[in-house]
Amino acid sequence: MSKHKVTYEEAGVDIAAGNALVERIKPIAKATTRPEVQDSLGGFGGLFALDTHKYQNPLLVSCTDGVGTKLKLAIEHQVLEGLGFDLVAMCANDLIVMGAEPLFFLDYYATGKLELDTAEAVIASIGRACQACGMALLGGETAEMPGMYQSGEFDLAGFCVGVVEKDKLIDGKKRIIPGDQIIGLPSSGAHSNGYSLIRHLLCTSKEVAPPNIETLLAPTKLYVKPVLALAEQFTLHGLAHITGGGLLENIPRVLPKTCQALIETTRWELPSLFAWCQSVGNLEREELYKTFNCGIGFVIIASQEDTPAIIDALCALGEKAKVIGHINPCKENDSQVLLQ
């Protein structure tokens, strides 16, 4: 009696589907290419030749992040087109805080069973986001892992590398001084933070209708091009990407210990999504502002003298920026952010 010959596909891994996906995404990656890209998608690693003639003393900057539990909400509602922007923005927006230009991106897509159309849609979204940042989608990994994920589920992670000239590195801890102005750039929604709380509120609150799904799943805004354009024109004292921890925890990451940020929350209107969260969750003000970006997705700290010109430059770039506070002196044990 002959024994049954087991195949990898029978165990739940379809190598042919994986190869088919690679072929589908080659045009996506090609559309993001830069002159420095040296290899085609599908090898064991992507090659990127840094232009050594362009830099005197280059520093490479790297970031990694994911989409968080926003991904679960997106899968439940099959709203996948913005996920690539969420993934890329969470990495690239962190990168530019130091003044670095994003060079290339790698993605990790993991699922229990590879669904080609879904994977292609998500990776195409990643490609569009990379194009919007001017960086190459250099490669990635698609992992099919039966038993690790429920049917229809997948996970995403991203890895971004950029470069900055050493003498152009933006280090808020060395540059920020009392009197500096805090400029806020609007967010496009909750970005990719606070969704465990949002999903909890959606499950527990039945009295107040939630925002529509387009508002709940609005893609994370990319700040790469306007911020890097500003860095070429002005001496920026500090930058902060407002992610998990909100304004209260992200601004202190770039402040000297002797400086305190005074945020005037009346300078902008709290978007309806966060007003809903505050209302149905009965959230205290501090809890709201340390969980969500509350309408401010990126912060620029600059001298009082440069601020009017920076606001004008941002306006010319299509950004509705506004001064939302200023920097005060403080003692080492004082809170580094005050809400007014």
Q: Any idea what the CATH number is for the domain that residue 111 is in?
A: 3.30.1330.10
- Name the residue with higher pLDDT: 209 or 64: 64
Q: For the segment 131-142, what is each residue's pLDDT rounded down to a tens digit?
A: 999 999 999 999
Q: Is the pLDDT of residue 1 over 60?
A: no
Residue 184 belongs to a domain with what CATH number?
Answer: 3.90.650.10
Output the pLDDT for position 247. 97
Specify whether 304 is located in the same domain as 258. yes
Q: Please say which residue of 105, 136, 168 terminates a domain.
A: 168
Specify whether 156 is located in the same domain as 178. no
Q: Is the pLDDT of residue 308 over 90?
A: yes
Is 136 within a domain? yes
Helix boundaries (H) for 10-107: 15-30, 70-77, 83-95
Is 3 within a domain? no
Least confident range of 32-41, 174-183, 214-223, 310-319? 32-41
Specify whether 108 is located in the same domain as 202. no
Specify whether 236 is located in the same domain as 287. yes
Q: Which structure tokens are listed for 325?
A: 């506070």
Total structural domains within the chain: 2
Output the pLDDT for position 26. 83
Q: Please say which residue of 134, 168, 202 terminates a domain.
A: 168
Decide the pairing of beta strands 337-339 and 259-263.
parallel
Is 8 within a domain? no
- d(CA 25, CA 28) in angstroms, rounded, equals 5
Specify whether 91 is located in the same domain as 218. no
Q: What angle do CA 94, 100, 106 make, to 5 degrees?
A: 65
Specify whether 50 is located in the same domain as 177. no
Is 6 within a domain? no
Q: Please say which residue of 168, 193, 210 terminates a domain.
A: 168
Give the pLDDT band of residue 148 (cuts 50, 70, 90).
very high
Torsion 26-27-29-34 (CA) sign: positive
Is 145 within a domain? yes
- d(CA 211, CA 1) in angstroms, rounded, equals 63
Specify whether 104 is located in the same domain as 230. no
Output the pLDDT for position 6. 65
Q: For the segment 6-15, what is each residue's pLDDT rounded down to a tens digit?
A: 666 766 776 7
Name 205's Cβ contacts closer than 8 Å, sequence gap at least 6: 280, 281
Specify whether 267 is located in the same domain as 162. no
Q: Is the pLDDT of residue 2 over 90?
A: no
By residue range, what is the domain housing residue 195? 172-339
Is 9 within a domain? no
Output the pLDDT for position 43. 72
| Mean pLDDT in residue range 193-201 | 96
Specify whether 218 is located in the same domain as 161. no
Q: For the segment 85-120, what is each residue's pLDDT rounded down to a tens digit?
A: 999 999 999 999 999 999 999 999 999 999 999 999
Is 2 within a domain? no
Output the pLDDT for position 56. 94
Is 26 within a domain? yes
Output the pLDDT for position 293. 98
Specify whether 326 is located in the same domain as 184. yes
Specify whether 126 is located in the same domain as 101. yes
Specify whether 93 is located in the same domain as 229. no
